Amino acid sequence: MPIDTAGLLDTARFIASPNCDDRPGDTKISLLVIHNISLPPNQFGGNGVIELFTNQLDPQAHPYYQSLQGSKVSAHFFIRRDGAIIQFVPCIKRAWHAGVSCWQGKERCNDFSLGIELEGSDTIPFTENQYSSLTALTQCLCNQYPIQNIAGHSDIAPGRKTDPGPCFNWNKYALELGDKKVFTAAQHLL
């Protein structure tokens, strides 16, 4: 599962999102942020997330989509329920996934992080295939970039975001990853 110099994962399907830009200066990628998303909410397998990240979401296709009209968001990676990985933004670019955020006193987490969206919600457990793909992807990213921490969106935007949510099993992820030192948020440690 190698990543090339352009920041593309060779085993992922690449769908380019326009919602990205250059990282500032010599910013090092030091944070991995785990999210969840499903469009429509709590429905899986459709193209809603792809359409959102590529600015093609029809606000008339579902009542919830009207609240997303004009949103310009993306993530580097999206892991489907079956474990398939779609990449929207090269790792060397800044994806627009974190919004207003702060990690360990450092604001604008998009500048120094990679965002991974899991197809899911706060109320439905994630699949074994997703954990397997997330673990392999995390190991690959940690080998390629100087990632020092892994956090949930709720950790970098507390009170504003809840994902990856209570159904995300941090203990399972840490055990599969086999490297707990990257988990600095105390609530996620074993």
Give catalytic residue positions. Answer: 117
User: Nearest 5°: CA angle at 164, between 152 and 98?
Assistant: 55
Name the residue with tokens 């998009």: 110
Cβ neighbours for 133, distance < 8 A, ≥ 6 positions apart:
79, 83, 84, 85
**Residues 33, 95: Cα–Cα separation, whole Å:** 11
Please report, in angstroms and rounded to a whole number, the separation of the first and last CA atoms in the chain: 27
Evaluate whether 53 touches 78 at the Cβ level (below 8 Å).
Answer: yes
Q: Which residues pair with 85 in a beta bridge?
A: 79
Count, residues in the chain: 190
The string of DSSP letters for 22-42 reads EPPTT----EEEEEEE-SSTT
